């Protein structure tokens, strides 16, 4: 199975929601999760076999408005 990168945009109005969103993202058995975007309102998750729909649904139920931005393979660096 190939590694994939999922980016979701989450409505995080407070520090508590930000913390909760990151905990949910990490709890879906991923390799890494980090904030991206100009306003740090997007979470990028990388790993193998991640169900993007399940992740989005969990974030919607627990945090609030969530939008699936992109799903794709992880780009390998040539070093």
33-54 per-position pLDDT tens digit: 999 987 888 999 999 989 999 9
Between the two ends of the chain, the Cα-to-Cα distance in Å is 23
Integer Cα distance of 65 and 79 in angstroms: 39
Rounded to an integer, the average pLDDT of 47-69 is 93
Say how far apart CA 79 and CA 72 lie, in whole Å: 21
Contact call for residues 20 and 62 (beta carbons, < 8 A) = yes
Q: For the chain, what are the domain ranges?
A: 3-73
Helix (H, G, I), strand (E, B) or coil at 7: strand
- Tokens 């969103």 appear where? 21
CATH classification number, 3-73, choose in 3.40.50.150, 3.30.70.100, 3.40.50.620, 3.30.43.10: 3.30.70.100
Q: What's this model's pTM, rounded to 2 decimal places?
A: 0.86
């Amino acid at each position: 199975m190939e590694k994939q990168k999922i980016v979701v945009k989450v409505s995080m109005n407070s520090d508590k929601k930000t913390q909760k969103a990151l905990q949910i993202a990490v709890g879906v058995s991923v390799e890494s999760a980090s904030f991206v975007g100009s306003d740090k309102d997007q979470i990028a998750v990388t790993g193998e076999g991640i169900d993007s729909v399940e992740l989005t649904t969990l974030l919607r139920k627990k945090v609030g408005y969530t939008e699936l931005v992109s799903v794709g393979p992880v780009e390998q660096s040539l070093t």
